Amino acid sequence: MGKASEVSVEGVITALDYPLKAEVIALRDLLLAVDPSIGEQIKRNAPGFHTTEHFATLQLRKPEVLGWCCIWGRRRGSCRRR
C-alpha cells in the first residue's frame, strides 16, 4: 500500500474484504456526518479521521471485531515513565 496521501479511503473501502464491511461504512458515514470539518485518510492500513489533528483510526485486524482507536488530547512526551 502506498503513502497515506496517495491512497483514497473510498478506494480502500471499495476493495475491503472484511466481514464487518457494512459496519465500517456505517461508522465512516456517521463520523463524516457529525461535522463538515472532519476529514479522513488511510492510517495504519485503515480509515483514520481528523479535524486539525488526528483523533481516531479504525482497526480491522480481527474479522470478528471492528476496533476503534481514539486519540484524545495526547501529546508527544505526555506519557513518560517515571
Rounded Cα distance, 39 and 68, in Å: 16
Cell 471492528 found at: 66
**Whether the predicted model's global pTM rises above the 0.95 cut:** no
Q: Is the dihedral of CA 68, 72, 75, 77 positive or negative?
A: negative
Q: What is the pLDDT along the chain (82 residues), one digit of tens a residue?
A: 444 456 799 999 999 999 999 999 999 999 999 999 999 999 888 999 999 988 999 999 999 999 988 887 655 554 444 4
Dump the DSSP string for 22-33.
HHHHHHHHHHHH
Cell 480481527 found at: 62
